[in-house]
Amino acid sequence: MLTVTSPLAGRVIALDTVPDPVFAESMVGPGTAVEPTGGAVAAVAPIDGVLVSLHPHAFVVVSDDGRGVLVHLGIDTVQLNGEGFEPLLRRGDAVRRGDVVVRWDPGAVESAGRSPVCPVIALEAMADSLTGLTAGGHVVAGDQLFVWE
């Protein structure tokens, strides 16, 4: 069992409402999303593990048992070429749940015409292996989003 926590504060929304079909149709994997609240934020690791992928707008942490969790900071944010994002770690770094990985400003993403919604995806998981998925509530960084059985 792997508890996946929120990388930032915001309102939890169902993955199928994310304004990107790749995420909304769970093509990358099942999960949920967080709509950020407030100004500039620090996105934190949702699980303990190793940072196996790090881009200014997205990162993947893989647990000791090989399960990967993708945090994508906004929708179509790759097109911003890193503007508004400040990665604080490096690929290959070990992280603990709650370690700050990237600082970013959801308001700047929105001002650039992109959605600041953050999908949190259980890579290569089966949808029925996730429990506790709920939408509509508010979370702070570190609150449980779901459990990966």
Which residues partner with 13 through β-bridges? 33
Q: Is residue 72 annotated as part of the catalytic site, yes or no?
A: yes
Helix, strand, coil shares, percent, the chain, to 5: 15, 40, 45
Mention every residue, 6+ apart, whose C-beta is less than 8 A from residue 66: none
| 21, burial (CB in 10 Å: exposed 0-12, middle 13-18, buried 19+) | exposed
Distance CA 129, CA 102 (A): 28
Q: What is the largest CA-CA distance in the chain?
A: 39
Which residue do the tokens 């770690």 mark? 89
Q: Considering the candidates 55, 57, 72, 138, report the single residue annotated as catalytic.
A: 72
Q: Which residues are catalytic?
A: 72
